[in-house]
Structure formats: C-alpha cells, structure tokens
A and B are shown apart, each in its own frame.
Chain A
Amino acid sequence: MTVSNARSRVPKSQEPPRPDRRKAPTAIPELDRVIHERVRLAIVSALAANEVLSFHELKQLLATTDGNLSVHARKLEEAGYIALRKGFAGRVPRTEYRLTPEGRKAFQRYLDHLEALVRASGRAVRVR
C-alpha cells in the first residue's frame, strides 16, 4: 500500500485542517539564509560580542566539531560576513575570525527583522 493510496481513503471530514492562508504575513521579507542557520547564527553572534575569536575558542563555545565549524565558517567567509587570519601563537598555528563591516550590517538587519516578526505577532519584544 502506498502513501497516496492511504491518503485517498481518508474521508474529507477527517483530513487535518489546512493552514489558513488568509492569516499569512504578506509584507515580511525573507530572512538572511546565510545567517539564519543555527551554527552560523552562533558564530556571527559570538563574533558580534568579541572582536576576535580563535577557531579553538569558537569550537568550545559552540560545542561543535572541527568539520562542522569549518564548513559553516567557510560559508560565512564566502558571503563576506567574516574574515579569517591565519597565524602562529608560538609554534602552534592559530586561526582567528572577526566580523567584517558587511557581516555586522547583515547581523543588524537580521536582528531588526526578528524584532519586526515579534512585533507583527502582537507580542512585546521581550526575550528574557
């Protein structure tokens, strides 16, 4: 039995209610997808609070793996939101990340957007 067969046997009255499209927001633009992903959002937020963070520090802060952090940091770097600098601390190689001016603007836009969404929902902008 396929899924489509199963669906066709459900009486119309028992089907789950469809979302009411009349309630859909119309004037809300798309969120910045580069920043919106959780790991990337955490990277940008951490760099907004700190001028410079090392790869090691970001990894500890985000409690993630080397591979995961590298992939997401590269996406942010490709978007021009963060810049990296490779150097040495003594003999140990160190990679440092910082937010670019463009990244800071994008982060601010994203925050404004979230606040607009909260306001549009009729709730007070209170996150504590």
Chain B
Amino acid sequence: MPRPGPDPRIAPEALGDRAADNLRFIRDTMERASSFTAVPGWGGVGMGASALAAAAVSAFARTPSEWLGIWLVEAFLAVAIGVRAMSVKAARAGVPLFAGAARRFLLTLSPPLFAGAVLTAALERSGRYELLPGLWLLLYGTAIVTGGAFAPRVVPVMGIGFMLLGAIAFASPPSWGTAFLAAGFGALHIGFGFVIARRHGG
C-alpha cells in the first residue's frame, strides 16, 4: 500500500515509479469497470448462431429480394438477442441498461447502424444487392469499433475484423457474399463472444 503523498526522503526516480504504478492501476481499474456491463459475450454467441442459420437459409433464396428479406429478419432477430443479452447482463450486475458503459455502447453503436439501414434501402432501390454484404460488414465493424472504444480491447479488435472482412468482400466475387456474412456475423460473433463471455463477466 503506497504512503499517502510524496515522501520527501524518496528520490524523484522512485516517486516516478510509484506514480507510474498508480497510473497503471487507474487504467486497469477503468478498463475493467467500463467493460463490466457493456458488451454481452453470450449475446454475441447467440447472434452468431442465428446468423449462421440465416446464411444457411439464404443460400437457398430464389430471388435477391428474398435473400434480402431473410437477412433483414436476421438483423431484427440479432438486435433482439443483443439487447436482451445486454439487459440480462446489466440486471445481473445491478445497473440500469441505459446508464454508464451500456448506454454509451448503445449510443455510439447506433449512428453507423442507421447509416447502414439508409444505404441498404438506397442500394435495394437501385438493385445493387451485391454490395450489401461488404456494406453491412464494414458499417457494423465501424459501429463496434466506435462503440467499443472504452470497452476491453477485444471488442474493437472484433470490430476491426468485421471491417477487414467487409473490405475484402467488396473486392471479391458477388457470389461469395453470403459466405462473407456467415464468416463475419456468424463466426466472428461466436468466436469473440466466447472470449468476452469468459473474460468479461458473461
């Protein structure tokens, strides 16, 4: 336990070490505190499982609009799973959902997702369905990176994974779109969800 206040008998080097120790302690505590309620790991696993199911079903879609309909249903389902998992996690920790880290995460998540919804409608009208997988992955990744700025590092890293997949999807053949969605919304969610659940309280 450090003494309160600088001891005049201690050389500046030792004081600097103690101060650096305290700064490290503060950073660690803030990191753990902000990660405590925000991101639901098991929710991510659930969202990933539903995305894999959606990918399997959408692979048999007969028309592009049917394919889009399946993924829109999946989007609503994933949001429902995510919000439910967050509220359960927040309730278990004894904090309201719309306060602190959980509130910040939801608020910073929303603008890129709104942009994604508007662009989806615009691309659907012009019939550019092949651009949708890359767009969704890129914007969802952006949302996770910004939303997870104060969360443990694993969250923004997951967001970067989505962004990279989105960028690659734009440069790949359109027929690979569903596979990219399965890899991102399915595999990435499940993999990172397990890590978050195990290391950051559920």
Contacts and interface: CB of A to CB of B under 8 A. Distances in A.
A79 interface: no
Contacts of A113: 19
Interface of B: 1-2, 4-6, 8-20, 22-27, 29-34, 36-37, 91, 93-96, 99-101, 103, 150
Contacts, number: 141
Nearest to B14: A121
Given A42-B29, A45-B33, A57-B93, A118 B4 contact: no
A121 B95 contact: no
Q: Which label, helix, strand, loop or mixed, suits the secondary structure of the B interface? A: helix
20 contacts: A33-B4, A36-B2, A37-B1, A41-B22, A41-B26, A41-B29, A45-B25, A46-B30, A49-B29, A52-B100, A54-B94, A54-B95, A56-B93, A111-B23, A115-B19, A117-B16, A118-B20, A120-B12, A121-B12, A123-B13
Indicate the member of B19, B100, B101 with the most A CB atoms within 10 Å: B19
Interface residues of A, number: 48
B99 A52 contact: yes
A15 interface: no
B94 A41 contact: no
Contact of A23 (B11, B24, B101): B11
Interface of A: 19-21, 23-25, 28, 30-31, 33, 36-38, 41-42, 45-57, 60-61, 89, 94, 96, 111, 113-115, 117-123, 125-128
Nearest to B35: A49
Contacts of B9: 19, 21, 24
A60 B93 contact: yes
Given A60-B93, A118-B16, A49 B25 contact: no
B5 A30 contact: yes
A89 B25 CA distance: 31
Contacts of B20: 114, 118, 123, 125-127
B12 A50 contact: no
Contacts of A19: 9-11
B6 A122 contact: no
B12 A25 contact: yes
Contacts of A53: 33, 95, 100
A120 B16 contact: yes
Given A21-B9, A61-B32, 9 more contacts: A21-B8, A24-B11, A25-B8, A30-B5, A37-B1, A49-B101, A50-B100, A51-B100, A61-B36
Contacts of B99: 50-52
Nearest to A126: B20
Contacts of B27: 127-128
B29 to A, nearest CB: 4
A8 B36 CA distance: 56
A89 B94 contact: yes
B95 to A, nearest CB: 5
Indicate the member of A46, A47, A126 with the most B CB atoms within 10 Å: A46
